[in-house]
Structure 1
Amino acid sequence: MRALGELLESRENDDAPAVYVGDTMVSRAELRTSADALGVLLRQAGVRPGQAVAAMLPNSAATVAALFGVWSADAAYMPVNPRLTDAEVARLSQAARPVLVVTDEAGAGRFPGLPTVVATDDGWRTPTRTVSETHAYDPGVALIQSTSGTTGRPKSVLLRHDTVLDLLEPVLRNLLGSRKTPTEGAPRKAPMPNLIPTSLSLWAGIYNVLFAFLVGAPVVLIDRFEPEGFAQTVKRFGIRSTVLPPAAMVMLCDAPRVTSLEPLRIVRSISAPLSPLQARRFRDRFGVTVLNCYGQTEIGGEIVGWNAADARAFGESKLGAVGRANPGVQVRVADDTGKALAADAQGEVQVRTPSLSSGYADGSQLHDRMTDDGWFRTGDIGHLDADGFLWIDGRLSDMINRGGLKVFPAEVEEVLRLNPAVAECAVVGVADDRLGEVPWAFVVLHPGADATDTDTELDALCREHVAPYKVPVRFTRLDALPRNDIGKVLSPRLVALAEAAAPR
């Protein structure tokens, strides 16, 4: 069985940088030494193959060492965001049943009853007691990764070593525009550092660490995204391509002191749908090509995306599409019966990939999301065009059923963004006694924007561009939309706000 830990095992260029954090550089040899030391401690503490080890750490070299250290003990890595509340940490622990936690001084004590390994400036502190929990997963499970929790409580997905590797390699081939793997062909020059602007508690962060190590590149970690600091880091390390969530691109466009992202040339949008308006706005402001992509935690990684060749050939005409299927991946759009639809017809996006996750930590499987003929139901609504580009139109769970008529929030949000006063917006479905559900819009205005007649203007704008039943019944202004760490809007919080404000 192939294992992700092998990405750190190569002893070529041991002195080469592996991780940059601020002014600190950690070499590959130093990182491996730290990871191996943690693995020894875990085994000595009684961690057995397949058992879950939680890690609650900020973005640091120790976090990357913890990832590979857990794998060196043949355990499953369970990242936990330090920003979660104690109640949220308890729910994740109850679902995934970690046997030990790796954390820093700030996190010690947040997992009552579990043995704890504390990361220090000098290495790892020996746990004070051994493991007593006996629960274990299949040893092939590499990660227990929490979903984003944007439409409900997060679920813990079991990702296998071979699943992630099976999807990482086709992504690389797609980006290179070649069928060759990184080890084939003539020797290449040292790869550019991989700048990671997201938390390493998130799948997007871990995924991009693994992608960097697959090509032999060092990673540059940012603990918290901040526009000016990001721009300075891009310039310092000569970053020509990177990944960004849509919310980060909006923040950069709105930052008056960020006037250049040189030498950046390509940004790959990750973690959430990027609207065509925001893609065009980012490109026009910074002269940077934006490449979309698509995947889900349950799938194990990216399965659809753009490469530079597609951007040159189709860029403007396909702005807003998430790309074409990566090598080895099949994508179709199907109706409610599972019948594949013709080009440009809207339905549920279904995929076939080399492998899928092993289900969820609570024991539930993916069988209920598989069709009888072997396709995985993503829960996303979209369409495929004649050139094979996939367009995501919304989520089945987000769809608003207004008296039997379908309303997709993304379509209405794109119209609302046409108003120059609107900085960001979100549309959610709110329960209605007569119609079942109605759309309700939450809007954040740009600083200094005139809000006097904004609601009337937004209503008129919607009526100009969409059918009357898609027009929101209310426009509520907020100072900011509630988001998670990768910028996805937390819809349940908006629904709760709407329900609290609705007339009784």
Structure 2
Amino acid sequence: MLDAGSLWELIERRAESDPGRELLVDSGGSRMTNGEFRDAALRTAAGLHDHGVRTGTVVSWQLPTWNVGYVLMAALSRLGAIQNPIIPIYRDREVGFIVRQIAPEVVITPSEFGGFDFAAMIARLTEGTGTRHIAADRSLPEGDPAVLPPYQAPGERELRWYFYSSGTTADPKGARHTDTAILAAARGMHECLALTGEDINGMAFPLTHVAGPIWLASSLMAGLSNVLLDRFDPAAAVDLFGREKVTLGGSGTPFHLAYLKAQREFVKTHPGRRAFPSFRLCNGGGAPRPATLHAQIRDEVGGLGVIAGWGLTEAPILTMSTVHDPQSALEDSEGRPMSGVELRVVTLEGKAAEPGEEGELRAKAPQLMLGYVDAALDADAFDADGYFRTGDLGTVDAEGFVRITGRLKDIIIRKGENISAKEIEDLLFTHPRVADVAVVGLPDADRGERVCAVVVGADGAQALEFAEMVAFLKGAGLTTHKLPEQLEVVEGLPRNPTGKVIKRDLVARFRS
């Protein structure tokens, strides 16, 4: 399975070798084996072929995390279309930007989901264009697979995917990807997590994220099953993941925090028992995590703890911890580079960093995008040696373990001094009355920027006061010039579907 050259080839190989093994279960009650999945994808490919979808046709689609979402993904792979999965919570601003930029021939969405009228949105956004809309409400167009032309495997660098970044600071950026990139990331994850056919993956994030096809590919490589939640709800996760004996608790910090909270509630009425008794590990990435989270998951939720990775839409899963890493590395690192990944660390002064020295992480990798949809962005995205500039700050130690220390754009410049938002966030996360936190720089006429801590209080705890926060940070060793000048206590932080805090919203809210 590991040497398949395309996603469709992998689908066919798994269906032939293990047709009766269950591949997908979703919260709507749909269940599919490998063989059923392949056959459904062929019927849908035929149905889309009847709608004019051919090799190279650009198809945007926006479906919840349903089994039929993966069937559509597979069908488009069989047809050789260029597919553009869109996160389901995106609305007119983001979806309008995307469809204007790539001009898809076909857009596929539910008619309605979660109280939102997707059909009306697409009608608004495509009025006066040649784009056609197909409604898919847990069902897809079907036809006779006999109409399909022979499968043509894509070339190693042939465009097959458009994925758009979350746009936490600006308009989304479209990354042009290949099956080669998807499969490279999947192979690395398969190895790092030691995936086997005995595993059952709990999928609580949008399958339209770049990790969606990566998880499908990893699942097919290992022969494991997936349990899909179309909208994350901790109570639903406890019920569904427990009932289906999920072993892999994805998929990032917000989900892991929710599992931890669910376990703490569960143990009140079920002393000594686990809410997720089959968890082998919690795989994750996509967002920073508190320094204490790995140990809390390991000791309370159960299993190996958090096995974390790091990557971007443009270059997914560049590094990942493994099940064999020492606890010290699992606690605060994102693992080591995957096979084929070359990392360099460049200091803010533009010099090659020494082991353990902070700088911008830059990468060359088989999972790296071809480039942006807007080619004008490429010049700034790559350095003179062809390394992708991730924008993430971090260190690589002498053993190769990568630690993310912040974002270049997350450096707050106060009176000419650089302050890392993540450093302050990591300290505040350890306060017993803080459940979540984000630190942002706000415009300030005297200082350039001032440091603002935005805090979500722990359940049932008294709200943190400004003086308490300052005393706590001083006691933790934070130097005076880094202390926040402002504290805001909120009910929750705005996050995108992968868990990253949308800091521009906090800046807009609290700048005055």
Q: Please, what TM-score do these two structures have when normalized by structure 1? A: 0.88
Question: Within the alignment, does 1:257 sit opposite 2:265 as a pair?
Answer: yes
The Cα of 1:209 is off from its aligned counterpart by 2.1
**Partner residue, 1:62:** 68
Change (3 A) 1:123 1:434: closer
Match of 2:10 among 7, 10, 25: 7
CA distance in 1, matches of 2:282, 2:379: 35
Question: Within the alignment, does 1:75 sit opposite 2:92 as a pair?
Answer: no
**Partner residue, 2:347:** 335
- Letter of the aligned partner of 2:21 in structure 1? A
Structure (1/2) with the larger helix percentage: 2
- Letter of the aligned partner of 1:408 in structure 2? S
The Cα of 1:304 is off from its aligned counterpart by 0.8
The Cα of 1:303 is off from its aligned counterpart by 1.6
Match of 2:282 among 241, 255, 267: 267
CA distance in 2, matches of 1:56, 1:98: 13
Question: Within the alignment, does 1:19 sit opposite 2:24 as a pair?
Answer: yes
CA distance in 2, matches of 1:364, 1:347: 25
Change (3 A) 1:403 1:174: same
Change (3 A) 1:162 1:14: same
Per-residue CA deviations over 1:101-123 (Å, capped at 9, x if unaligned) read: 12222233432242123335664
**Partner residue, 2:104:** 98
Contact kept, 8 Å, 1:253 with 1:281, in 2: the verdict is: yes
Contact kept, 8 Å, 1:196 with 1:205, in 2: the verdict is: no
Contact kept, 8 Å, 1:50 with 1:140, in 2: the verdict is: no
Change (3 A) 1:242 1:121: closer
Moved more, 275-284 or 386-395: 275-284
Match of 1:412 among 419, 424, 429: 424
Q: Please, what TM-score do these two structures have when normalized by structure 2? A: 0.86
1:50 match: secondary structure = coil
1:316 match: secondary structure = helix
Change (3 A) 1:263 1:46: closer
1:204-223 pair list within 5 angstroms: 204-223=211-230
Match of 1:34 among 30, 36, 40: 40
1:240-389 pair list within 5 angstroms: 240-255=247-262, 256-259=264-267, 260=274, 261-288=276-303, 289-299=305-315, 301-310=316-325, 314-316=326-328, 319-336=331-348, 338-354=350-366, 356-389=368-401
CA distance in 2, matches of 1:246, 1:257: 18
Contact kept, 8 Å, 1:269 with 1:290, in 2: the verdict is: yes
Question: Within the alignment, does 1:171 sit opposite 2:189 as a pair?
Answer: yes
Per-residue CA deviations over 1:249-280 (Å, capped at 9, x if unaligned) read: 11222234333221212111221122212223
Contact kept, 8 Å, 2:182 with 2:213, in 1: the verdict is: no
CA distance in 2, matches of 1:121, 1:175: 31
CA distance in 2, matches of 1:304, 1:428: 27
**Partner residue, 2:437:** 425
Per-residue CA deviations over 1:45-83 (Å, capped at 9, x if unaligned) read: 333422320112121111011101111221111112332
The Cα of 1:191 is off from its aligned counterpart by 3.6
Match of 1:161 among 179, 183, 196: 179
- Letter of the aligned partner of 1:160 in structure 2? T
2:366 match: secondary structure = coil
Contact kept, 8 Å, 2:24 with 2:228, in 1: the verdict is: yes
How many residues get paired?
Answer: 474
Change (3 A) 1:167 1:84: closer
CA distance in 2, matches of 1:142, 1:333: 30
- Letter of the aligned partner of 2:135 in structure 1? V
**Partner residue, 1:489:** 501
Change (3 A) 1:439 1:53: same
1:199 match: secondary structure = coil
Contact kept, 8 Å, 1:96 with 1:156, in 2: the verdict is: no
Structure 1 segments unaligned to the other structure (5+ residues) = 127-136, 177-181, 183-188
Change (3 A) 1:34 1:119: farther
2:355 match: secondary structure = coil
Q: Root-mean-square deviation (CA), in Å? A: 2.4
Per-residue CA deviations over 1:413-472 (Å, capped at 9, x if unaligned) read: 111122211111100111111221121111111232223x62210011123321112111
**Partner residue, 2:151:** none
Contact kept, 8 Å, 1:204 with 1:271, in 2: the verdict is: no
CA distance in 2, matches of 1:174, 1:16: 23
